[in-house]
Amino acid sequence: MIEVRNLTKRYGDKLAVDDISFSVEKGEILGFLGPNGAGKSTTMNMLTGYISSTSGQILINGADILEDPITAKSNIGYLPEIPPLYVDMTVDAYLGFMYDLKRCKLPRKAHLNDVCNLCKISGVRNRIIRNLSKGYRQRVGLAQALINNPPVLILDEPTVGLDPNQIIEIRTLIRKLGKNHTVILSSHILPEIQAVCDKIIIINKGVIAANGTADEIARSLTNEHKMTLRIEGSTHTAADKQEITNAIKALGGVKYVRADMEREKGIYDYDVEAEEKTDIRRAINDLCRKKGWNILMLQLSDLTLEDIFLKITMGDAASPAGAASAKPAGPRLDLKIENGELVAAEKGSDTPEQKNELMTEESAADMDKSDTDDTTESEENGGEE
Amino acid sequence: MGAIYRREMGAYFISGAAYVFLAVFALLFGIFFYNGVIGSGTTETSAMFSSMFIFVLFLIPILTMRLLSEEKKNRTDQGLLTAPVGLWSIVLGKYFAALTLFVIAESLVFIYSIILAVLGDVVWSTLLGNYFAMLFLGAAFIAVGLFISALTENQMAAAVASMIVLFMLYLLDSLSANISNEYIKKILSSLSFYSRYVEFTQGVFNLTSVLFFLSAAFLFNFFTVRVLDKRRWG
């Protein structure tokens, strides 16, 4: 239905959209997710033919948006970031204008009634748009996009400025529309995309950072097997912690083990990371059974969409090594903050260069420590908390 | 084109611009008619029409200033440019709306020619020629104003710039009179809107002048289309 190939948009030196390709099938709802300024609106403006692309091709229902704009545009209903409303007109007059502008052939009165009912603006049809609230204006914008029943709907941040009830209504409406239309929806709000979309494209700094369903994206980013275990040792003391850590580390395929906080009396949590595509859950279970320990909890650390979004947009995805080091969540991050505080305390006596050196040396030392001597580190950590 | 034309016509009357334009136009025309024609006890309207040039020049921007600048400012151009219509339809829809209003204004003041016909003998060919001259002039000026409106987001800037540009066109004649170089003089005077217009008002029907005004209208509408197209590529 929509096919985008190697789309690029350049503003002077600035590359707003850099070589993105994707396709959307009929009846799919595609979510465009990205921080502000990522290139979402630019892409949507290109898709709808409002601005041209520097290079690349866009096909809407087989028609090229630049070669055959009229055919392509007649397949699109577009709700831009700021709804294109003539504020001096009444809702009815405006929708009538859009009906004429789009050369709609559907029965006029019935079609406009349908659209108004769908967007719940039947009650304000005789009011002048200037006097409508933001939420109603947004709905009139949506109604305008729906006129002529276009097979493709492109909605740029459709829920901005709506109250929570209206947001839910609009989401429900979009899902409903998604059954008969192909919908592209942009947002910087994660739950929205997650709630509504079949497929997600995460765009950052003009490039596609991830593309697929929420699950696919999560899977593609987490090929390491990570889990958090809560194991009850035999003695309920800190000695358990050492023993268990060492025993798990001795298992084949384990990359990394770290004892975490004491969650229950004398029982600790352990962050375990196995080598890629290795499932060590059974091995750990066997180990515990042999030693007489009890596994009280085993949790695979799946990334939520939020984690993915942060991970991608903070630039971690660019370097897999960076991602790996940033990932072990919780305490290790705390440690970094601890470092920061440490450095901050010494700020007065050091020149900036020295401070930087100090910081890198220290954090490097901490990294080493965390790899070699987990126990002491987590003890420090536990003490802190 | 029809949808845009109808919306613009509606907008003229909703915003009041139409009433301002029509009122000022009728007022000025009335004053000149009273002073220049009735006051002098003549049915000769050429002098009146030739002095109307400068007022048309200042009145046309009232019609054109808003046409495209407001669309850009309110981002409603996104609705137009993503709708399945061509750029020519958008530009011509707006152009003909402004032109229609100008025709309405001229029809309003046509009543004076009827008054003249009742009071004395009129040469209808000259009189009608005068009205048509003004129509052709308006057609060209509206295209210029529309073009300038496409260049800015600020309608006041569009109005002022249009007035200045149209006034420069008016000054072309006096400019060419002071130039010694024959070729430049010839080029400037052949570009003159004023001398062609005055020729009309004196009852000379010159097909080249008609073509001149119509080509000016076409050319500036073409420029407007290019401006919209360029914005898309920018």
What CATH number does the domain containing A135 carry? Answer: 3.40.50.300
Q: Is B173 on the interface with A (CB under 8 A)?
A: no
The answer to whether position B230 is within a domain reads: no
Q: Is A201 on the interface with B (CB under 8 A)?
A: no
Considering the domain architecture, whether residues A163 and A252 belong to the same structural domain is answered as: no
Position A225 scores a pLDDT of: 66
Position A220 scores a pLDDT of: 65
Chain A CB contacts of B234 below 8 Å = 51
**Nearest to residue A120, comparing CAs of A162, A180, A81, A73?**
A162
Among partner residues B3, B74, B82, which is closest to A97 by beta-carbon distance?
Answer: B3
Question: If you ran DSSP here, which 8-state letter would residue B34 be given?
Answer: I
CB of A258 within 8 A of CB of A228? no
Position A132 scores a pLDDT of: 92
The answer to whether position A366 is within a domain reads: no
How does the average pLDDT of chain B come out, rounded?
Answer: 90
Q: What number is the ipTM of this complex?
A: 0.89
Write the single-letter amino acid at B191.
L
Closest approach of chain B CAs to the CA of A153, in angstroms? Answer: 12
Inter-chain CB proximity B78 and A80 less than 8 Å = yes
Among partner residues A48, A86, A103, which is closest to B76 by beta-carbon distance?
Answer: A86
Inter-chain CB proximity A101 and B74 less than 8 Å = no
The answer to whether position B234 is within a domain reads: no
Burial A86-96 (b: 16+ CB within 10 A, else e): bebbbbebbbb
**Domain boundary, last residue among A303, A326, A342:** A303
- Within 10 Å of residue A383's Cβ, how many Cβ atoms? 7
CATH code: domain of residue A297: 3.30.70.260
Q: State the total domains in chain B.
A: 1
Q: Is A78 on the interface with B (CB under 8 A)?
A: yes
Position A305 scores a pLDDT of: 65
The answer to whether position B229 is within a domain reads: no
Q: Is B233 on the interface with A (CB under 8 A)?
A: yes
Q: State the total domains in chain A.
A: 2
Q: Which chain B residue lies closest to A12 (C-alpha atoms)?
A: B234
Write the single-letter amino acid at A11.
Y
Chain B CB contacts of A101 below 8 Å = 3-4, 79-80, 83, 85
Position B230 scores a pLDDT of: 87
Considering the domain architecture, whether residues A100 and A238 belong to the same structural domain is answered as: no
Among partner residues B4, B11, B14, which is closest to A101 by beta-carbon distance?
Answer: B4
Boundaries of domain holding A168: 2-219
Considering the domain architecture, whether residues A183 and A210 belong to the same structural domain is answered as: yes
Cα–Cα distance for residue pair A99/A111, rounded to 1 Å: 9
Considering the domain architecture, whether residues A204 and A61 belong to the same structural domain is answered as: yes
The answer to whether position B233 is within a domain reads: no
Write the single-letter amino acid at B148.
I
The answer to whether position A345 is within a domain reads: no
The answer to whether position A202 is within a domain reads: yes
**Domain boundary, last residue among A219, A235, A251:** A219
Q: Edge-to-edge strand order for the sheet containing A2-11?
A: A14-24, A2-11, A55-60, A63-64
SS3 content of chain A, % helix, strand, coil (to 5): 45, 25, 30
pLDDT at residue B78 greater than cutoff 80: yes
Inter-chain CB proximity B78 and A87 less than 8 Å = no
Q: Is B232 on the interface with A (CB under 8 A)?
A: yes
Inter-chain CB proximity A102 and B77 less than 8 Å = no
The answer to whether position A314 is within a domain reads: no
**Residues ≥6 apart with Cβ < 8 Å to A189:** A159
Write out residues in chain A with pLDDT < 70, as ranges: 218-225, 276-277, 302-307, 315-385
Closest approach of chain A CAs to the CA of B145, in angstroms? Answer: 21
The answer to whether position A354 is within a domain reads: no
Closest approach of chain A CAs to the CA of B16, in angstroms? Answer: 11
The answer to whether position B122 is within a domain reads: yes
Inter-chain CB proximity A101 and B81 less than 8 Å = no
CB of A159 within 8 A of CB of A171? yes
**Domain boundary, last residue among A168, A203, A219:** A219
Considering the domain architecture, whether residues A103 and A241 belong to the same structural domain is answered as: no
Q: Is A84 on the interface with B (CB under 8 A)?
A: yes
Considering the domain architecture, whether residues A295 and A239 belong to the same structural domain is answered as: yes
Closest approach of chain A CAs to the CA of B68, in angstroms? Answer: 13
Boundaries of domain holding B194: 2-224
Among partner residues B76, B77, B84, which is closest to A73 by beta-carbon distance?
Answer: B84
Closest approach of chain B CAs to the CA of A68, in angstroms? Answer: 10
pLDDT per residue as tens digits for the range B44-69: 888 888 888 889 999 999 999 999 99
Considering the domain architecture, whether residues A41 and A167 belong to the same structural domain is answered as: yes
Chain B CB contacts of A69 below 8 Å = 84, 86
pLDDT per residue as tens digits for the range B108-164: 999 988 988 888 888 888 888 889 999 999 999 999 999 999 999 999 999 999 999
Considering the domain architecture, whether residues A172 and A117 belong to the same structural domain is answered as: yes
Inter-chain CB proximity B85 and A84 less than 8 Å = no
Question: If you ran DSSP here, which 8-state letter would residue A302 be given?
Answer: P
Among partner residues B75, B83, B233, which is closest to A80 by beta-carbon distance?
Answer: B75
Nearest-Å Rg of the Cα atoms of chain B is 19
With 0-12 CB in 10 A as exposed, 13-18 as middle and 19+ as buried, what is A141? buried
Considering the domain architecture, whether residues A202 and A291 belong to the same structural domain is answered as: no
Considering the domain architecture, whether residues A150 and A261 belong to the same structural domain is answered as: no
Position A319 scores a pLDDT of: 39
The answer to whether position B231 is within a domain reads: no
SS3 assignment, position B179: coil
Considering the domain architecture, whether residues A93 and A235 belong to the same structural domain is answered as: no
Cα–Cα distance for residue pair A208/A22, rounded to 1 Å: 9
Position A330 scores a pLDDT of: 32
Q: How far is CA A362 from CA A339, A343, A357, B162, in A?
A: 8, 9, 8, 68
Q: Is B84 on the interface with A (CB under 8 A)?
A: yes
Residue carrying the six token digits 């073009």? B147
In a mutational test of the B interface, the residue from A14, A42, A50 whose CB has the highest number of chain B CBs within 10 Å is A50
Q: Name the percent of chain B lying above pLDDT 70.
A: 100
Among partner residues A50, A71, A100, which is closest to B82 by beta-carbon distance?
Answer: A50
| Residue-by-residue DSSP string for B85-151 | --HHHHHHHHHHHHHHHHHHHHHHHTHHHHHHHHHS---HHHHHHHHHHHHHHHHHHHHHHHHHHHH
**Nearest to residue A218, comparing CAs of A234, A202, A205, A233?**
A202
Cα–Cα distance for residue pair B53/B166, rounded to 1 Å: 10
Among partner residues A73, A85, A86, which is closest to B83 by beta-carbon distance?
Answer: A73
